[in-house]
Amino acid sequence: MPTETVDPRFVDIDRWPTASAVEAMLEGQLAAVAALKGQTEAIAAAADAAAARLRRGGRLVYAGAGTSGRLAVQDGVELTPTYDWPAERLVFLVAGGTGALLRSVEGAEDNVAVAREETLAAEIGPNDVLISVAASGRTPYAVVALETARELGALTIAIANNPGTPLLAAADHPIVADTGSEIVAGSTRMKAGTAQKAALNILSTAIMLRCGLVHRGMMVNMRISNEKLVQRARRMVASLAGIDEARAADALALADDDLRRAVLVARGLSAQDAAKRLTDAGGDLGDALAALEQPEAE
């Protein structure tokens, strides 16, 4: 596998001046992100397909082992504070369990029986979306979790750093970041991990876009959990509704701190009507505002 091979350019890197080694590592990180350039259409197609399932009430399921599993979990947990994605609509399948997020659990990634058992226990169904991540593209836990989810009717997305591998072949939507050999052979937390993180960030953000949780470049469904976010929310409502921040604060209070409803309240709707308009628009603030501009049918 390319990610496991020794790059002859770096066989003596341990003898290089530290600044030179750091420069080489930085160049590797930049190349890792560039490896995703050819995957634009694949990521977009995966995001569109995922959003269609999730709009029907499905869950996002992340699967992986080791570094890949930790990166997958990080991506998922950040969706709740950023987009107020419900925690109950997130599932994490990590080889070795949650303890593996803090400490390596040797051998867990090879246990295919546990992978299948845990995927079945998650009661995955046709509206769910499973994203499985593995640098090698061969990790047994990641492959079996994806195969099982697909058997259950879920949409499956794979992210791997080696082309032509079982994980990619088994997925509805394969995404390959061909990062090649690492500066330290086999240390896939380096280039491979960086490319995985970028792919996950882009994919999940695109999914949130298509789920209507972003409007005019703003996180209009973020969870207001501290004073900084209170101030940000007021600025956002003020900007989107064309009002001052004092009125925006009043609108947020009437809308129980729901940004999308607050914008509609600021545009003259009652809190109840704002909630209904948003529901009718499938939660998409842009669609709700567009409907508001249309004249009522006679």
Residues with catalytic roles? 78, 109
C-beta contacts of 118-123 below 8 A and 24+ residues apart: 118/93, 118/145, 119/63, 119/93, 119/144, 119/145, 119/148, 119/149, 119/152, 120/148, 120/152, 122/61, 122/91, 122/93
Look-up of token digits 């570094």: 67
CA distance readout (Å), 169 to 79, 160, 174, 203, 249: 28, 11, 7, 19, 51
Q: How far apart are CA 94 and CA 100, in angstroms?
A: 7
Q: How far apart are CA 124 and CA 280, in angstroms?
A: 27
Say which residues have a Cβ less than 8 Å from residue 122's Cβ, sequence separation at least 6.
61, 91, 93
CA distance readout (Å), 144 to 4, 25, 167: 22, 33, 9
Q: What's the residue count for the chain?
A: 298
Say which residues have a Cβ less than 8 Å from residue 180's Cβ, sequence separation at least 6.
2, 3, 7, 35, 191
Q: Closest Cα to residue 101, out of 135, 77, 65?
A: 65
SS3 category, 164: coil
SS3 category, 91: strand
Residues 53/130, Cβ–Cβ less than 8 Å: no
**Residue 199 exposure: Cα atoms within 13 Å on the Cβ side:** 38
